[in-house]
Amino acid sequence: MLAAALGFRQLRRTYWGVITTNPFHRLFGRLGQVVPIDPDHALLSSLAFGAAVLKRGHHLVWFAEGTLSPTGELQPFKLGIGILLERFPTLAVPVAIHGTHRALPIGNWWPRPKPVTVEFGRPLSPRNLERQGKGERPQERIVSALHEQLAVLLGSTPDPR
């Protein structure tokens, strides 16, 4: 859904962080500009792939929850996005994708004809996120504030502005 919402020029510069533990999928994914993420065995190399994308000035789509939500409710974020944004301070754009849990429920292979919308938030500075968030370490504060911003987009919490 997100790829359909991007223009061609943006799409050519966009890489996708996707959880994959299958070597065949990883090989095929390189053709589709996929950054393979293996949270169980190779988290550091997954972050290194994401860092390489950011170093080259490309866009990186990182699904911070690490899994699909069965209900459409926002799940807790994994720390990886905070680690990347602390080390490579590039603007983060939260994106809410509404309706995917109804259009393609977990376990289904074929989508249902249900409305899906993509909503882009405003670009956020990792340094501002770090100042706004809660947590002991900088990456925890970045993740906390980014989660809060996405919750606002999803309508889960009132806008703090």
Q: pLDDT tens digits, the chain, 161 residues: what are they?
A: 788 888 888 888 888 887 776 666 666 666 678 887 776 666 777 888 889 999 999 999 988 888 777 777 899 998 989 999 999 999 999 999 888 888 888 888 888 899 988 899 999 999 999 999 999 999 999 999 999 999 999 886 544 44
Residue 37 — φ and ψ, nearest 5°? Answer: -120, 120
Asked if 83 and 47 count as a contact pair (C-beta separation under 8 A), the reply is yes
Number of domains in the chain: 1
- Residue 52 C-beta-side C-alpha neighbours within 13 Å: 13
Domain of residue 103 covers 2-154
The pLDDT score that the predictor gives to residue 160 is 47
Q: Which long-range contacts (CB under 8 A, 24 or more apart) does 49-58 make?
A: 50/15, 50/17, 50/80, 50/84, 51/84, 51/87, 51/88, 53/15, 54/84, 54/88, 54/90, 55/88, 57/13, 58/13, 58/14, 58/15
Q: Does residue 159 sit within a domain?
A: no
Asked if 142 and 128 count as a contact pair (C-beta separation under 8 A), the reply is no
